[in-house]
């Protein structure tokens, strides 16, 4: 059996590598031809995934052939799609990339083939949209082919171990699809469970994200309250947490293309059904998250008084702009939002980030600077605000 | 050293018993004289705490003397207060019972004595209110006596093991108070940590409750959304939960005198400071919790159509009215609210509850009934709705 994996990004490539490791031949499809060539010469294009180096070196261009052409996958009988789903400015999912992938698969789909979606999507997407795209392009009907959903559960930096160890689920749009897809997937994923339907699989992944999102916002709300009482939130959090309590880490807000995105999958669907009042907690969590850069800007400006310098002359270095430490991505980064907000408020803001060169920082329209050359330093990953005595250092 | 424990209720008596077990002599004070006599004859008045039977039998009337008179504690040099703090109809804490306890202690307080509050309270209560009551009555100043807070972390049914194993904290209103109180408490509580202040200790306990409250509401919000998609929420929850995800159990709403109460400690304080927008998540959680009986009443009435009987003739038995399974208390019980709501909506509602006799149920103005004699049965602890075919059974 040859398996096609569509999308060789941060989620798709680790999966393709693990499938190769399980003994399957793979055609990997990605729009980025340079990336395909890199993979085919055994080079790992995702530096954040060190465990991937060895696998790509071993399988790239051999068991795993990367290509930009869907036609190269026409002999495959098992298709996995793992392309991104972004939100537009109204928080609605833009299905363009998914539609393109599935319509292209539809064109080469044969009787008996099995298709699995890995991208996290709003509930009902697999059984309604994706089935339709495949049926329209292939002229086949569900039953001629099989369709299932197995939401990715990777975390950039830990993707290989996640695939090898973490619980994963798969569900079919009908019972036969579930069984067929499970039979193949269980050879790749050791910790796999078949759930009752694709929509349950969709929902599982989305609510997992909603749990994290709401709990990050809860932590941030409690952090603000602690400030009001002059309480060290981190001390309180340490002692509040135990077996039955898991107050998350506070932050400048959650970012990336997962956690702050998934709640909208549910908010949209419920609002379209006139059930706005049944998503109030998710909406409140969103409002809190949006407000966090403003909260930190305010706090930093309050602290800046300790420099005893005129406001407009104070320099502050923010030591991170990525949405999460260790992942080179600015997607929905609240840390980047904070930098821009501080600039707008009139502070002289410089940026340093272990993942960005001074040139890359300048290309973003920001000013590179070293922490030791600033009056203040803010580390958005630890939330430490430092006031420095530059004169003393010199 | 003789220790006084004020309040021999569900939280105070297990603590007093564990202190006796640690080798101290105790004067236990409670307004309920009958309860005091019961304890002094070695009888455990809290049937939900089976582990307590042996301890009360062993120490009641011996190392642990229960009394209603504060004067009997005048030779004590260590005082622990663990009386309830209720909310009034505006969700404001009513400090009457606490004030009464501390003013009475103040009257017998001597130089060098140490006082510890165990009741969960809003941040700053210990250092502001309680210190004031003690100073006013004793004519002593902080420094002459010591004052600390160590919030109880019991859970009815598990209180003894909680005291023996669970992490507990203590914090002083000043550093000397913390050290003094810790020295004695650490002889009683094996897993004890001294935190930096009484207010941190207060905050720790309150945010732990807020975590639970918000996560129960989140689960209930997600449950409602799952219903909309015709998804089995319990199946989805099982697979969503793992090491990093702990979606709580859905319910008819959280009740009792702890979980739904503590968020108000923060909401009130923040609203009084004009910071209403910094408690939106806690408020949303409250709104969802309040709405749950209505949600379940609606769902039950929808299901009742399956009986194919005229609405006003349908009988439903609700098999639980306590706020939590296994705890005989109706405090803030959403399950009891649901029963009343179903009655108001015109269903014939009967009640059975393993902790209440038929007579006790009737005394509450409800109708006792057996599940097998009803058209429908709702179990509020499992959320199962059953439609029964009574005719067939007969």
Q: Which of A138, A172, A196 is the last residue of a domain?
A: A196
> Do both A313 and A377 map to the same domain?
yes
Closest to B148 (Cα-Cα) out of B121, B167, B129, B175: B175
Q: What is the pLDDT of residues A203-215, one digit of tens each?
A: 999 999 999 999 9
Measured distance CA(A354)–CA(A333) in Å, rounded: 16
Quick check: A192 contacting B, CB < 8 Å? no
- Predicted confidence (pLDDT) at residue B60 exceeds the cutoff of 80: yes
Residues 6+ apart with CB under 8 A from B90: none
Residues near B330 by beta carbon (within 8 Å), at least 6 away in sequence: B321, B322, B323, B336, B364
> B381: helix, coil or strand?
coil
Residue A317 known to be catalytic = no
Domain annotation covers residue A330 = yes
User: pLDDT by residue (tens digit) across A71-91?
Assistant: 999 999 999 999 999 999 999
Same domain, A272 and A330: no
Helix (H) or strand (E) holding B13: helix B12-21
Residues A366 and A329 in one domain: yes
- Residue B1 at interface with chain A, using a CB cutoff of 8 Å: no
DSSP string, A173-231: SSHHHHHHHHHHHTTT-SSEEE-S-HHHHHHHHHHHHHHHHHHHHHHHHHHHHHHHTT-
Q: Both A237 and A347 in a single domain?
A: no
d(CA B321, CA B324): 8
Same domain, A138 and A182: yes
Q: How far apart are the C-alpha atoms of B36 and A35, rounded to whole Å?
A: 78
What is the chain A residue with the closest CA to B266?
A225
My answer on whether A25 and A105 are in the same domain is yes
Q: Using CB atoms, pick whichever of B123, B196, B214 lies closest to residue A218.
A: B214
- Do B39 and B185 have their domain in common? yes
How near does any CA of chain A get to the CA of B70, in Å? 33
In this predicted structure, the answer to whether residue A171 has a pLDDT above a threshold of 90 is yes
Is B220's pLDDT higher than 70?
yes
Instruction: Please tell me the total count of domains within chain B.
Output: 2
Q: How many CB atoms lie within 10 A of CB B343?
A: 18
Q: Do A270 and A154 share a domain, yes or no? A: no
Residues B262-277 have pLDDT tens digits of 999 999 999 999 999 9
| B267 lies within 8 A of chain A by CB | no
What mean pLDDT, rounded, does chain A reach? 96
For residue B139, pLDDT over 90 is answered with yes
Q: Is residue A251 a contact partner of residue B305, using CB atoms and an 8 Å limit?
A: no
Distance separating the N- and C-terminal Cα atoms of chain B:
67
* pLDDT computed for residue A394 by the predictor: 45
The pLDDT value given to residue A388: 87
Cα B36 to Cα B47: distance, rounded to the nearest angstrom? 16
**Of B196, B221, B250, which closes a domain?**
B196
- Can you give the CATH number for the domain in which A251 is found? 1.10.1040.10
Distances (CA, A) of A175 to A172, B71, B231, B251, B257: 6, 74, 15, 30, 46
| Same-domain check for residues A276 and A300 | no
Q: What is the pLDDT of residue B285?
A: 98
> Which stretch of DSSP H or E encloses residue A158?
none
Residue B152 domain boundaries:
2-196
Percent pLDDT > 70 in chain A is 99
In a domain, B183, yes or no: yes
B55, B68 Cβ separation under 8 angstroms: no
Query: From its phi and psi, is residue B281 left (phi > 0), alpha (psi between -120 and 50) or beta?
Result: alpha
Chain B nearest-CA distance from A131, in A, is: 18
Q: How far is CA B152 from each of CA A390, B155, B163, B182, B214, rounded to the nearest angstrom?
A: 48, 9, 9, 15, 20
Name every residue whose Cβ is closer than 8 Å to that of residue A353 and which is 6 or more positions away in sequence: A319, A320, A321, A322, A361
A376-379 sheet: strands from edge to edge = A348-351, A315-318, A376-379, A384-387
Q: Give the closest residue to A321 by CA, choosing from A292, A344, A353, A348.
A: A353
Contact A341, A331 (CB under 8 A): no
d(CA A265, CA A291): 21
Whole-number Å distance between alpha carbons of A252 and A216 = 10
Q: Compute the average pLDDT of residues A57-68.
A: 98
Residues A186 and A281 in one domain: no
Is residue A168 in some structural domain? yes
Residue B353 near residue B311, CB atoms below 8 Å: no
CA-nearest of A358, A14, A342 to A163 is A14
pLDDT at B135 over 90: yes
The pLDDT of residue B392 is 55
Say if CB B348 and CB B313 are below 8 A apart.
Answer: yes
Distance CA B233, CA B247 (A): 11
Determine the Cα angle at A254 with ends A251 and A256, to 5°.
Answer: 135
Q: What is the pLDDT of residues A382-391, one digit of tens each?
A: 999 999 875 5
Could you tell me the pTM of the whole model?
0.96
Annotated active-site residue in B76, B114, B210, B258: B258
Q: Please state, in angstroms and rounded to a whole number, the distance separating the CA atoms of residues A320 and A325.
A: 8
Instruction: Tell me, rounded to whole angstroms, the distance of Cα B216 from its chain centroid.
Output: 15
Chain A CB within 8 Å of residue B71 CB: no
Q: What residues of B are in contact with residue A245 (Cβ under 8 Å)? A: 208, 211-212
Out of B10, B180, B205, B334, the active site residue is B205
Strands (E) across chain B are located at 2-6, 25-29, 64-67, 78-81, 86-87, 93-94, 114-117, 146-149, 168-172, 192-194, 315-318, 348-351, 376-379, 384-387
Map residue A336 onto helix, strand or coil. helix
**Residue B161 touches chain A, beta carbons under 8 Å:** no
Q: Is B232 helix (H, G, I), strand (E, B) or coil?
A: coil
C-beta separation of B246 from A214 below 8 A = no
Q: Is it the case that residue B391 has pLDDT exceeding 70?
A: no
Identify all chain B residues contacting A235, using CB atoms and an 8 Å cutoff: 195-196, 200
Same-domain pairing of A75 and A164: yes
Average pLDDT score over residue span A20-45: 97
Residues in chain A: 394
Nearest in space to A200 (alpha carbons), one of A151, A249, A269: A151
pLDDT digits (tens, 9 = 90+) for A111-163: 999 999 999 999 999 999 999 999 999 999 999 999 999 999 988 888 998 89
The CA-atom distances, in angstroms, between A256 and each of A155, A168, A329, B238 are: 11, 21, 7, 26
Sort out which chain B residues have CB atoms less than 8 A from A236's CB and list them. 195, 200, 203-204, 207
Residue A392, chain B, CB below 8 Å: the answer is no
Residue B295 lies in a domain: yes
- Residue range B156-180, pLDDT digits in tens: 888 998 898 899 999 999 999 999 9
A 10 A CB-CB count for B306 gives 11
pLDDT of residue B43: 97
From B207, B244, B285, residue closest to A281, measured CB to CB: B285
Residue with tokens 């109809």: B89
Pair B66, B42: CB distance under 8 Å: no
How close A305 comes to chain B (CA, Å)? 23
Is B271 inside a domain boundary? Answer: no
Q: How far apart are CA B269 and CA B275, in angstroms?
A: 9
Exposed e or buried b per residue across B85-122, where buried means at least 16 C-beta atoms within 10 angstroms of its C-beta: bebeeeeebebebbeebbebbbebbeeebbbbbbbbbb
Q: Domain for residue A269, yes or no?
A: yes
Q: β-strand B376-379 against A192-194: which pairing, if any?
A: unpaired
A210 is catalytic: no
Q: Do A222 and B207 touch (CB under 8 A)?
A: yes
Which residue among B156, B177, B196 closes a domain? B196
**What is the mean pLDDT of the segment spanning B183-193?**
96
Q: How confident is the model at residue A18 (pLDDT cuts 50, 70, 90)?
A: very high
Q: Is A364 a domain residue?
A: yes
Cβ contacts of B191 on chain A, cutoff 8 Å? none
Tell me the chain A residues in contact with residue B210 when contact means C-beta distances shorter than 8 Å: 218, 222
- Residue-wise pLDDT for A234-275, tens only, equals 999 999 999 999 999 999 999 999 999 999 999 999 999 999
Q: Find the mean pLDDT for residues B67-84.
A: 97
Instruction: Give me the pLDDT at residue A106, please.
Output: 98
Identify whether residues A144 and A228 lie together within a single domain: no
* CB contact B236 to A (< 8 Å): yes
Residue B390 has a pLDDT of: 56
Nearest one of B212, B281, B286 to B247, comparing CA atoms: B212
Provide the shortest C-alpha distance from residue A290 to chain B (in Å): 13
**Strand residues in chain A grouped as ranges (E):** 2-6, 25-29, 64-67, 78-81, 86-87, 93-94, 114-117, 146-149, 168-172, 192-194, 315-318, 348-351, 376-379, 384-387
pLDDT given for residue B394 in this prediction: 45
Which residue in A197, A211, A288 is closest to B281 by CB distance?
Answer: A288
Burial class (CB in 10 A: 0-12, 13-18, 19+), B174: middle
Q: Is A275 in Cβ contact with B211 (below 8 Å)?
A: no
User: CATH code at A66?
Assistant: 3.40.50.720
Does residue B13 contact residue B46 with C-beta atoms inside 8 Å?
Answer: yes
Residue B258 forms part of a structural domain = no
């Amino acid at each position: 059996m040859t398996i096609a994996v569509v999308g060789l990004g941060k989620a798709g490539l680790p999966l393709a590598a693990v499938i190769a490791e399980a003994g399957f031949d793979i055609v990997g499809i990605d729009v980025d031809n340079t990336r395909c060539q890199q993979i085919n010469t055994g080079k790992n294009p995702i530096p954040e995934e060190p465990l991937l180096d060895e696998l790509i070196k071993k399988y790239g261009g051999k068991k795993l052939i990367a290509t930009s052409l869907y036609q190269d996958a026409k002999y495959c009988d098992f298709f996995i799609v793992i392309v991104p789903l972004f939100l537009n400015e109204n928080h609605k999912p833009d299905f363009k990339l998914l539609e393109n992938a599935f319509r292209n698969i539809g064109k080469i789909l044969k009787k008996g083939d099995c298709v699995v979606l890995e991208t996290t999507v709003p509930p009902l997407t697999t059984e309604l949209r994706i089935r339709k795209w495949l049926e329209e392009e292939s002229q086949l009907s569900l039953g001629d082919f099989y369709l299932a959903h197995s939401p990715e559960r990777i975390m950039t930096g830990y993707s290989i171990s996640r695939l090898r160890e973490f619980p994963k689920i798969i569900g079919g749009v009908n019972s036969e699809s579930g069984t067929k897809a499970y039979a193949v997937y269980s050879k790749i994923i050791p910790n796999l469970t078949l759930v009752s339907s694709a929509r349950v699989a969709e929902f599982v992944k989305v609510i997992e994200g909603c749990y994290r999102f709401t709990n990050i916002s809860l932590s941030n709300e409690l952090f603000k309250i602690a400030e009001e009482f002059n309480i060290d939130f981190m001390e309180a959090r340490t002692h509040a947490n135990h077996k039955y309590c898991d107050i998350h880490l506070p932050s400048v807000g959650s970012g990336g293309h997962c956690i702050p995105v998934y709640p909208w999958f549910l908010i949209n669907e419920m609002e379209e059904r006139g059930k706005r009042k049944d998503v109030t907690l998710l909406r409140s969590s969103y409002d809190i998250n949006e407000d966090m850069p403003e909260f930190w800007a305010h706090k930093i400006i309050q602290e800046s008084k300790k420099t005893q310098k005129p406001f407009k002359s104070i320099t502050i270095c923010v030591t991170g702009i990525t949405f999460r430490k260790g992942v080179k991505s600015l997607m929905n980064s609240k840390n980047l939002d904070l930098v821009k907000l501080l600039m707008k408020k009139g502070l002289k803001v410089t940026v340093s980030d272990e993942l960005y060169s001074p040139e890359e920082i300048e290309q973003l329209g920001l000013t590179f600077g070293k922490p030791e050359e600033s009056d203040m330093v803010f580390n958005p990953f630890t939330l430490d605000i430092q006031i420095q005595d530059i004169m003393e250092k010199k």
